[in-house]
Amino acid sequence: MEKLQVQFLGGSGTVTGSKFYLNSEEIKILVDCGVFQGTKELRKQNWEPLPIQVDEVDFVLLTHGHLDHCGYLPLLVKQGFKGNILGTAPTLEIAKIILEDSAKIHEEEAERANAEGYSKHDPALPLYTQDDVVRTLKFFKSIEEGETVMLSPNCTACFKYNGHIIGSTYIEMIFHGKVLVFSGDVGREEDHLLHPPKRPQWADYLFVESTYGDKDHPDEDVEGIIQDLVDQTIRERGTLIIPSFAVERLQSLMYLLWKLYDKNKIPNIPIFVDSPMGINVLEVFERHPDWHKLDPREYKNMCNHVTLVSSYRETWETIDDPRPKIVIAGSGMVTGGRVLTYIKQLAEKKSTTILLVGFQAEETRGRKLLEGATELKMYGKYIPIRAKVAHLESLSAHAGQSELLSWMEDIKNVPEKVFLVHGEKETMAIYKDKIHEKYRWNCHIPDLYETVEIPI
């Protein structure tokens, strides 16, 4: 009997680093290939080679283009991967943007660390370089949403629309008649920009994300909260800084702010979008209109309503602009990117507000701000935080607990096993109980690097 082993190389007991290795005599597949983010112990593992024969991997299947699902790809190639990296066209475009940006940040941070001498390593090295990314892109191969791809004589894969971000899918794999479903990150039922996720109909083995498995998103008055923050920013002649994920969240924020202005709910306050990556993602929206709800007129009006910042010179001009203003800049968890420059320069002012939108992983600067940090370490120095901190949870691109449970309710069979991944341990324990309560399904929470055997 053919045996299939699944090893959890990431996204297990943590929200980041998703990598699921399927190993059989017939075929070897990685579903997602993300980097770890958050705690130092997790991030250190990005520097370690994978405990598998990388040169034997036939395919990488990408559910979507976020860094915690694709960011390890250049390292995989450096370790000898020479197969195909499959994803939808928007996913591969997003992955390209994110990998290029990530490599540039790694190179800049290594250069800065060496110049200022704050790294423990001599010399400090980037995790990977822009040249590594160029080599990685050669393995990209796009597939259509809903298309069944033959990976081997007894293995097919189908990528199905999943909301969350543009291009995102869940993956339905059939191996020797067994259906394995990898949820990727499940999107929201109601989203400003995206259509509702499709739902799986059958799953012998289900690998499902658990980011918000312990709770639903609050029923927030998002427009009212943003309106109040804008009014406060104008009144105090300050700056509203919104750290944002460059993919989806940034575009959603642009849309929300434009709609508020269009409905005369906020005045024409200057809005600066300082995220070269986010600007590139806007172009992906323009190229793939079938993947989102925006019509061309809305897209054009939304883009015209903001000032797009591309160069560092413009970043400093924005910081020095004395007018009350809104700045949307990456990254969403304040782990890197242009937003660090704004926080470093403006967070000492009481007239500054930092609005966090969405999930903040453990030990990220975003989580520390939420927990009331009075200083943040940036570039080897501690920056005092006197800015006000606000939080919007309901803008998350991840399904909440009820939405996750609903996403599974069209599955007609009883899965042989459900694996809970992409979540923090306490969250997954609650989610496991909820799934058992509603469906009576057999759930398992795998440990990092655990291997399970699936009989085929």
Which of 361, 392, 423 terminates a domain? The answer is 392
Instruction: State the CATH number of the domain containing residue 123.
Output: 3.60.15.10
Which of 362, 392, 422 terminates a domain? The answer is 392
Q: Say yes or no: 82 and 43 in one domain.
A: yes
Taking 90 as the threshold, does the pLDDT of residue 121 lie above it? no
255 neighbors 54 (Cβ within 8 angstroms): no
Give the pLDDT of residue 1: 63
Round to whole Å and give the CA distance between 80 and 193. 38
Round to whole Å and give the CA distance between 17 and 76. 13
Mind listing the pLDDT tens digit for each residue in 342-391?
999 999 999 999 999 977 878 889 999 999 999 999 988 999 999 999 99
- Better-scored residue on pLDDT, 276 or 7: 7
Closest CA to 391 of 232, 218, 270: 218
Q: Say yes or no: 359 and 280 in one domain.
A: yes
Q: Please give the angle made by the CA atoms of 188, 148 and 285, to the nearest 5 degrees.
A: 45
196 — pLDDT class (breaks 50, 70, 90) = very high
Taking 90 as the threshold, does the pLDDT of residue 335 lie above it? no
Half-sphere exposure of 369 (CA within 13 A, CB side): 32
Give the pLDDT of residue 246: 82
Q: Say yes or no: 250 and 360 in one domain.
A: yes
Other Cβ atoms less than 10 A from the Cβ of 26: the count is: 15
Q: Say yes or no: 387 and 444 in one domain.
A: no
Q: Kindly state the tokens that stand for 163.
A: 């909301």
Give the pLDDT of residue 124: 86
Taking 90 as the threshold, does the pLDDT of residue 186 lie above it? yes
Q: Say yes or no: 284 and 310 in one domain.
A: yes
Mind listing the pLDDT tens digit for each residue in 53-104?
999 999 999 999 999 999 999 999 999 999 999 999 999 999 999 999 899 9
Round to whole Å and give the CA distance between 36 and 361. 10
* Pairing, β 28-31 against β 59-61: parallel
Half-sphere exposure of 191 (CA within 13 A, CB side): 28
Range of the domain at 240: 222-392
Closest CA to 348 of 315, 314, 375, 309: 375
- Better-scored residue on pLDDT, 358 or 8: 8
Instruction: State the CATH number of the domain containing residue 277.
Output: 3.40.50.10890
Question: What is the average pLDDT score of the chain?
Answer: 94
Which of 345, 375, 392 terminates a domain? The answer is 392
Q: How many domains does the chain have?
A: 2
Mind listing the pLDDT tens digit for each residue in 270-282?
999 998 888 899 9
Q: Say yes or no: 200 and 289 in one domain.
A: no
* Pairing, β 148-152 against β 443-444: unpaired
Mind listing the pLDDT tens digit for each residue in 231-242?
999 999 999 999
Give the pLDDT of residue 371: 95
Q: Say yes or no: 134 and 209 in one domain.
A: yes
Mind listing the pLDDT tens digit for each residue in 423-443?
999 999 999 999 999 999 999
For the full predicted model, state whether its pTM sits above 0.85: yes
259 neighbors 252 (Cβ within 8 angstroms): no
Q: Say yes or no: 97 and 192 in one domain.
A: yes
Taking 70 as the threshold, does the pLDDT of residue 310 lie above it? yes
Give the pLDDT of residue 247: 86
Give the pLDDT of residue 101: 87
Taking 70 as the threshold, does the pLDDT of residue 401 lie above it? yes
Round to whole Å and give the CA distance between 345 and 74. 33
- Give mean pLDDT, residues 241-261: 93
Percent of the chain with pLDDT over 90: 83
Q: Say yes or no: 17 and 151 in one domain.
A: yes
Residue carrying the six token digits 């915690």: 68
| Residue 34 DSSP code | P
Q: Say yes or no: 280 and 304 in one domain.
A: yes
Q: Say yes or no: 211 and 230 in one domain.
A: no
Q: Say yes or no: 112 and 146 in one domain.
A: yes
Q: What dihedral angle (degrees, nearest 10) is formed by the CA atoms of 79, 83, 86, 91?
A: 30
Give the pLDDT of residue 38: 77
- Better-scored residue on pLDDT, 355 or 13: 355
